[in-house]
C-alpha cells in the first residue's frame, strides 16, 4: 500500500519542476491525480505518470481565474468521486526589477497567480473537504516569504501572504478535521530558476549556486515533493497551520561571513 493509496489529489503547476516531481511521486504512492497547469506541458507530466503505471488526468487551467479553479475541482470529483488533498503549487517569479520601476500591473499579476490562486484553491476545496470531515491542503510559499533578499518584492510579498493565508485558514477550519500547511522552498532547480542556473554555468560558477546554505548546494524538485507527500498523507495528521522551510538550512541562521565552527 502506498502512502496515498486510493486518495484523490489535485496538484497545480504540474507541468514542470516541483509540480511534475510531485505528480510522479504522489501517483507512485497510490494517488489518483488531477494534474493542473496553464500549459500543454501538463499533458507530458500525465504521460509520464501513465508510463509509470499511475492514474492521472490533465487539466489546462489558469489558477488565478475562479471559474477555472471550480472547473478543476469539479473534474477531480467527477473522475474520482471525492477530493482528499490539494496542493496549490502553481506560481510565477516576477523577476528582479528595481522597486522604482515596478508597476501596479506587474504586482497585480504576481499576486493574482501566487496568492489569489492558492486562495481560490482553498475556497473551493474547503466545502468538499469539510463535508467529509477530513482532508489536506498544501500551499507552496517560499523562503522569500520568511526573509529578505531571496527574490523580487512582489514575489516575496505574495509568498509571505501565502504563509499568512495558511495560518489564518487553519483557524478558520478549527474542528473540521481539515489540515492546511505551507512549504517554503529555498533555491530549487526549476524552470523558474533556470536563468540563474544557466547564467552560472556560462560564467563557470555553477559550484557556487546554493553556497549560502549549510548543505552548500541547491535543492531538487523531488526534495520539495517529498515534503508535500508527507503533508498530504495521513502521517501528518497532527501537523497543521505551519510553514516549513525546505532550504538546506538557509533560514536557520542570520547572515554569517566567517569560517565554519
Write out the catalytic residue numbers.
155
Which residue has 481565474 as its cell numbers? 65
Q: ∠ CA 60-64-65 to the nearest 5 degrees?
A: 75
- Mapping DSSP to helix (H, G, I), strand (E, B) and coil, where does residue 232 land? helix
Residues 6+ apart with CB under 8 A from 7: 30, 31, 32, 84, 85, 232
Location of C-alpha cell 502521517: 235
Pairing of strands 135-140, 8-12: unpaired
Give Cα 178 distance to the centre of its chain: 18
Length, in residues, of the chain = 261
| Separation CA 10–CA 147 (nearest Å) | 29
Amino acid at each position: 500500500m502506498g502512502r496515498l493509496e486510493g486518495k484523490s489529489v489535485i496538484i497545480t503547476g504540474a507541468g514542470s519542476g516541483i509540480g511534475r516531481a510531485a505528480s510522479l511521486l504522489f501517483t507512485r504512492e497510490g494517488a489518483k491525480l488531477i494534474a493542473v497547469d496553464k500549459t500543454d506541458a501538463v499533458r507530458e507530466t500525465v504521460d509520464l505518470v501513465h508510463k509509470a503505471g499511475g492514474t492521472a488526468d490533465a487539466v489546462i487551467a489558469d489558477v488565478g481565474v475562479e471559474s477555472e479553479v471550480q472547473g478543476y475541482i469539479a473534474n477531480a470529483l467527477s473522475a474520482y468521486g471525492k477530493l482528499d488533498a490539494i496542493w496549490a503549487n502553481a506560481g510565477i517569479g516576477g523577476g528582479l526589477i528595481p522597486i522604482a520601476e515596478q508597476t501596479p500591473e506587474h504586482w497585480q499579476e504576481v499576486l493574482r497567480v501566487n496568492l489569489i490562486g492558492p486562495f481560490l484553491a482553498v475556497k473551493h476545496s474547503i466545502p468538499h473537504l469539510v463535508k467529509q470531515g477530513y482532508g489536506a491542503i498544501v500551499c507552496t510559499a517560499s523562503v522569500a516569504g520568511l526573509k529578505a533578499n531571496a527574490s523580487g518584492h512582489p514575489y516575496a510579498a505574495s509568498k509571505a501572504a501565502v504563509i499568512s493565508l495558511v495560518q489564518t485558514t487553519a483557524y478558520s477550519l478549527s474542528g473540521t478535521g481539515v489540515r492546511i500547511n505551507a512549504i517554503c522552498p529555498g533555491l530549487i532547480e526549476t524552470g523558474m530558476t533556470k536563468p540563474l542556473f544557466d547564467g552560472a554555468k556560462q560564467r563557470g560558477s555553477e559550484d557556487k549556486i546554493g553556497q549560502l546554505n549549510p548543505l552548500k548546494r541547491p535543492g531538487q524538485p523531488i526534495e520539495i515533493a517529498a515534503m508535500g507527500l508527507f503533508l498530504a498523507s495521513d502521517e501528518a495528521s497532527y501537523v497543521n497551520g505551519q510553514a516549513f522551510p525546505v532550504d538546506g538550512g538557509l533560514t536557520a541562521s542570520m547572515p554569517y561571513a566567517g569560517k565554519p565552527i
